[in-house]
Amino acid sequence: MASGRCRHGRAEGNAPSADVLAAVRRLLEEGARRVSRAQRFCMGTADCCRFRLTGETPHVTLGEAWLAWKAWRASGRTRVELPDDGSCPFLSGEGRCMIYEGRPLACRTHFCVSAGGALPRRDVIDLIHGLEDMDAALGGDGACRLPEAVERLSRKSAGRGRK
Ligand code: SF4
């Protein structure tokens, strides 16, 4: 989970092709496989989804932001509202991830202590680089905060009739 302002900017206006999104998804799924092999098991506390609690917010590349947005749309929702309490906008009132299939790499690999801890960066660095390469190919400018990145996509999609 890196820090920094989101700078995806105008690149957000162009929806990635299905092939690009599939390639992003493959990297995320590989992350989940490595987590499983490393015996990290989510305990379902959802503490890591309450960013004020942890002081950390997942950051996403542009391809990941698009996947999260598509998952949000697939769940029948449109606008992304940023909660006042600093929680992830995709966390349900019951403590469940509402974009589970489209959650980013950070959510798949950055496990809390009770779940065994985060995977060492060296174990996923090739996946991070792969996502960064796709970010650059899409015209992004590095990873930025998940909530704001997807909220911006939701606003832009509303403005052009939703893709
Ligand atoms: S995307 Fe899902 S797993 Fe990730 S912080 Fe939000 S609710 Fe939690």
Answer yes or no: is 4 within a domain. no
Taking residues 4-13, what's their average pLDDT? 59
Q: What is the pLDDT of residue 163?
A: 52
The residue among 154, 155, 141, 157 whose CA lies nearest residue 5 is: 141
pLDDT one-digit tens code per residue, 92-102: 999 999 999 99
Q: Which of 12-16, 52-56, 138-142 has the lowest mean pLDDT?
A: 12-16
Q: Count of domains in the chain? A: 1
What digits encode the pLDDT tens for the residues 39-57? 888 888 898 999 998 898 9
- Across all residues in the chain, what is the average pLDDT? 88
* Residue 81 CB-density burial (10 A; 0-12 exposed, 13-18 middle, 19+ buried): exposed
69 within ligand 1 shell (Cβ under 6 A) = no
| Ligand 1 pocket check for 97: Cβ under 6 Å | yes
Residue 3 maps to a domain: no
107 lines ligand 1 (CB under 6 A): yes
Tell whether the model's pLDDT for residue 2 goes beyond 50: no
Least confident of 44-58, 105-119, 135-149: 105-119
The answer as to whether 28 is a domain residue is yes
Within a domain: 2: no
Residue 36: inside a domain, yes or no? yes
Mean pLDDT of 138-156: 92
In this predicted structure, the answer to whether residue 34 has a pLDDT above a threshold of 60 is yes
Q: Whose CA is nearest to atom 8 of ligand 1?
A: 49
Q: Which domain holds residue 138?
A: 9-159
